[in-house]
A and B are shown apart, each in its own frame.
Chain A
Amino acid sequence: MNNVQIFELEIEDYRQYEGNQTIPLETTSEKHINVIEGQNGSGKSNILNAITLCFYGEETHTDSNDDEGLESDPLVNKKRLKELDPGESIQGHIEIKLGKGEPEYAFRRTFSTARQEDAAEGDREERQFNSSIGDLRLRQRFGGNDWRPNPNPENILREILPTHVHEYFLFDGEQLDEFFQTGYTDHVRAAVLDVSHIELLNSAVGHLGKVQRDFESESSELGGDIQDLQERKEEASQELERLKQKRDELEDEIDTAEGKIDDIYDELAGSADDDVREMQQRRVYLEERLDEQEDELVDTKEAVGASLARAGGIAYNADALRYAVSELEEYESSQNGVSGLTEELLRGILSRETCVCGADLTECDSSREHIKDLLEEQTTESQDAIEGRLRMERALRDGESLIEGLLADLSELEDTRTAIDENETELANISAQLEDEDIIDNERAQELEQRRRDIQGRISKMEREVGELNGKIEQQEDVVDERREEWKQAMREQDEHDLLVRQSEFIDSATDKLSEIKREILEQVRTETEQRLERYYNDLIWKDEDYEVVLTEEYEVRLYGPDGRKNLGSLSAGERQVLALSFMAALSKISGFSAPVVIDTPLGRISSEPKQLIAQNVPDYLNDTQVTFLMTDVEYSEDVRAYISNEVANEYHLEFQNGVTQVVDR
């Protein structure tokens, strides 16, 4: 196997795991899957937690529904804690041996739980005990059994699987369906930024800007006009920064306010009152639909503009063209190019060689040539007239179909506007109904709705302010550019400033290039994520239909089936889990790291038959990657087992008895 894998996981006195237990996990390219199976509560999630606790000092899986969840439990095995007197403590550890062909690194983190000095027998557990974790330690192998301490565990870990991308490799499958709930676009955006190293580019651009200002400020020491111009430029830059900062603060406030609205939505969606719940569901649907319709409105407006550009010329000149065609038709029927001289008559004169005046053309070359010239002129005029008429008729025909297209686009525009108006009205009605105590007898819902409306009002106000600020920022950027140009111009006039100008311009080029790279990378990663997401989703989803997945520039995921767009809110938990699983797989690939993948309850939300397909396909797109599945006995059914058996290297069962888990071969 070319990728890094976990060779061995050693757990001592961690949560359910009493004493020292070692789980060998070595895999090969052909057999790259480990399965650790156990019933709910037997300690599967704590295997994942043990790994993230060791590496990053944090536990990935916490039970957010339980105030006394895992995070409040002591880290050390509870059975061992019974041996403790107040003031005493016990230490445990987790050690992970990693490497490519063979174990190269052993990461270890100790933890301890102490019994509080003043703890009494009857106290709640979290008041009796206090847990703490130690620093990450690392031993490196130098052949055979020669393991020596390495003083830089964090650096080595950063090279294998850094904190910022670990959640795409080590994750809880059951919690994945929550990934695409309200406000998910922020997660998607953050994830795409994570794997693209955009933070690095932002930081470089920011630092270069500061260095550029330092260079430029050196010029102020040179005196004269330059100093004034530098100060004016600096003032403009500071004003620009102030405006940007104000805008960023407002945007942060908007994010926070939107988060509050999301919380209100969650609470309304989870209300025990059926009416409230239904209204909230309808609102979420309508808001999603409204977003789509607003996009459609933009597209339709563009289409109308294009149709108008194509059809407009012809439409405005149609009457003139029709008149010209009728005139030409009349001309053609009379063949009346020069009064009295038709093409037929001229040909007759030439053939008879006698003019209408009686002159013999055989004796008068000049008359003959004159008749010939008249005939040629007559023929050319007729051809030009016919061609012109045909072109005008064609233009009129094309124009009619272009005008029909324009009318159709205008009608669609009107329909979209009407639909938007209807949706907005219905949304306003829902809001009014939720607030109306005669309709909804639910004080909490009324209070929440009132709060939502207030917050929404504030958001709209802040969004307007952001819009105004953006306008001011654009203007101020022009002012900065203008003053910088003035400054540069003055600098150029003095030789001693030339070097500073060049340096400033060099940094300008560097900053522009980095900004361009940032734009390109974001687009590339977005497109690549979209493509992989679509491929994996179609591979994993159990339906025969083909789905198109679109990741918009605003990081919204759109799913299109044969019947059109599907709202993410209407997907089943299993479908959402598959979508999120596809997203994780896409990001782990794009991140460029080749680390082992550990998935807790990968099939948790999936019903029986599709499990086989997923079990079969997940390992395929994670080929040459060590994949460890932590599965319940229900997930790891005989069917699923049969599908992946050829690729399974190690199979363990978690035997949970009397509060203690033993890892045994399955």
Chain B
Amino acid sequence: MNDSEVHSLILDRVDEVEDDDLRAFLRGVLEHERDILKEPRAEYAEQYKELVDNFVGNESLQEFDNE
């Protein structure tokens, strides 16, 4: 165990998420949260928006329309 890592209790469950995009997004968010846990004013919003854009960008629009 290493405190700069996310606890395996959490990661093991994230790894069980079937949706690849959601799984990768959750990992990205948790790793960032781990880095900033003790910094209440740390920046996260832009990073998360960028992450969301990566997984749900314009290329996904077609997929949405087909639903």
Stretch of A198-206, A308-316, A403-411 with 4 or more beta carbons under 8 angstroms from chain B: A198-206
Q: Is the CB of B10 within 8 A of A506?
A: no
Q: Given the interface contacts A207-B44, A210-B45, A503-B52, does A524 sit within 8 Å of B9 by beta carbon?
A: yes
- A200–B6 CB distance below 8 A: yes
Q: Are A506 and B1 in contact (CB under 8 A)?
A: no
Q: Is the CB of A521 within 8 A of B44?
A: no
User: Which of B13, B29, B45, B65 has its CB near the most chain A CB atoms (within 10 A)?
Assistant: B29
Residues of B close to A199: CB separation below 8 A:
37
- Tell which of A499, A521, A592 touches B13, judged by Cβ atoms closer than 8 Å: A521
Bits for A150-180, please: 1 = Cβ < 8 Å to B, else 0.
0000010011101000000000000000000
* Beta-carbon contact of A592 and B1 below 8 Å: yes
- The answer to whether B37 touches A525, judged by C-beta atoms less than 8 angstroms apart, is no
Check A196–B45 contact: CB distance below 8 A.
no
Query: A474 CB to closest chain B CB, in angstroms?
Result: 27
* Nearest CB on B from A4, distance (A): 11
Q: Contact check, B25 vs A510: say whether CB atoms are below 8 A apart.
A: yes
How far is it, in angstroms, between the C-alpha of A594 and the C-alpha of B2 when the chains are bound? 9
The range of chain A's interface size is: 35 or more
A211 touches B49 (CB 8 A): yes
Do A592 and B48 touch (CB < 8 A)? no
Write the nearest CB–CB distance from A592 to chain B, whole angstroms: 3
**What 0/1 readout, one digit per residue, does chain A (193-230) give for beta carbons within 8 Å of chain B?**
00011011101100110110011000000000000000
Is B22's CB under 8 angstroms from A204's CB?
A: no
Contact of B29 among A215, A510, A593 (CB under 8 A): A510
A397 to chain B, nearest CB (A): 50
Asked, given contacts A506-B52, A513-B22, whether A592 binds B33 with beta carbons under 8 Å apart, the answer is no
Contacts of B45 in A (CB 8 A): 207, 210-211, 214
- Cα A208 to Cα B51 in complex, Å, equals 11
Q: Which residue of A lies closest to B34 (CB)?
A: A200
Is A517's beta carbon under 8 Å from chain B? Answer: yes
Q: Given known contacts A498-B64, A591-B1, is B55 in contact with A506 (CB within 8 Å)?
A: yes
A-chain residues with CB within 8 Å of residue B14 when the two chains form the complex: 513, 517
Q: How far is the CB of A97 from chain B (nearest CB, A)?
A: 20
- Please measure, in the bound complex, the distance between the C-alpha atom of A514 and the C-alpha atom of B37, giving whole angstroms: 16
> Contact between A509 and B22 (Cβ–Cβ < 8 Å)?
yes
Query: Is residue A507 contacting chain B, with contact meaning CB distance below 8 A?
Result: yes
- One of A201, A214, A510 near B49 (C-beta < 8 A): A214
A491-546 interface with B by 8 A CB criterion: 498-499, 501-503, 506-507, 509-510, 513-514, 517, 520-521, 524-525
By the criterion CB–CB under 8 Å, are A159 and B9 in contact? no
B37 near A203: Cβ-Cβ < 8 Å: yes
Q: How long is the Cα–Cα vector from A497 to B11 in the complex, in angstroms?
A: 33
Whether B56 pairs with A499 at a CB distance below 8 angstroms is yes
> Does A498 lie within 8 Å of B10, measured CB to CB?
no
A207 and B33 form a contact (CB under 8 A): yes
Find out whether the CB atom of B61 lies under 8 angstroms from the CB atom of A162: no
Are B26 and A498 in contact, with the CB atoms below 8 A?
no
Contacting residues, chain A, for B9 (C-beta < 8 A) = 196-197, 521, 524-525, 592
CB distance B61 to A510 under 8 Å? no
A591 cross-chain contacts in B, Cβ below 8 A: 1
A513, B55: Cβ atoms under 8 Å? no
Task: Provide the B28-67 mask, 1 if CB < 8 A to any CB of A, else 0.
Answer: 0110011001000000110011001101111011001100
Q: How far is the CA of A207 from the CA of B35 in the complex (A)?
A: 14
- Residues of B within 8 Å of A498, CB to CB, are 61, 64-65
Nearest CB on A from B49, distance (A): 6
**Given A208-B48, A502-B60, A506-B56, are A517 and B37 also a contact pair (CB < 8 Å)?**
no
B10→A159 contact, CB < 8 A: no
Determine the distance from Cα of A507 to Cα of B4 in the docked complex, in whole angstroms. 24
- Contact yes or no, B33 A200, CB < 8 A: yes
CA distance A594 to B1 in the complex (A): 7
Q: Contact at B37–A200, with CB atoms within 8 Å?
A: yes
A517–B29 CA distance with the chains assembled, in angstroms: 14
Considering the chains assembled together, what is the distance between the CA atoms of A639 and B56 in angstroms?
Answer: 68
Query: Given A210-B45, A521-B9, A594-B1: A513 and B56 within 8 A (CB)?
Result: no
Within 8 A of B (CB), among A577-612: 591-594
The distance in angstroms between the C-alpha atoms of A207 and B45, with both chains bound, is: 7
Query: Which residue of chain B is the closest to A161 with respect to CB atoms?
Result: B3
Please tell me if the beta carbons of A510 and B26 are within 8 angstroms of each other in the complex. Answer: yes
Residues of chain B contacted by A594 (CB below 8 angstroms): 1
Residue numbers in B under 8 Å from A514 (CB-CB): 26
**How far does the alpha carbon of A551 sit from the alpha carbon of B12 in the complex, in Å?**
24
- Asked if A159 contacts B48 (CB within 8 A), the reply is no
Decide: B56 and A517 in contact? CB cutoff 8 A.
no
Whether the pair A197, B6 counts as a contact (CB closer than 8 A) is yes
Query: CA separation between A200 and B56, bound complex, in Å?
Result: 24
New A-B contacts (19) at CB < 8 Å, excluding given A499-B61, A517-B10: A158-B3, A196-B7, A197-B7, A200-B7, A200-B34, A204-B30, A207-B48, A208-B48, A211-B48, A214-B45, A501-B64, A502-B64, A503-B52, A506-B22, A510-B22, A510-B26, A513-B14, A520-B13, A524-B9
A-B contacts, 12 listed (Cβ < 8 Å): A197-B10, A199-B37, A200-B10, A208-B48, A210-B45, A211-B48, A499-B60, A502-B56, A510-B29, A520-B13, A592-B1, A592-B9
Q: Which 7 A-B pairs have the closest CB atoms?
A: A592-B1, A162-B3, A197-B7, A158-B3, A159-B2, A211-B48, A517-B13
Binding site for B on A (CB under 8 A): 155, 158-160, 162, 196-197, 199-201, 203-204, 207-208, 210-211, 214-215, 498-499, 501-503, 506-507, 509-510, 513-514, 517, 520-521, 524-525, 591-594
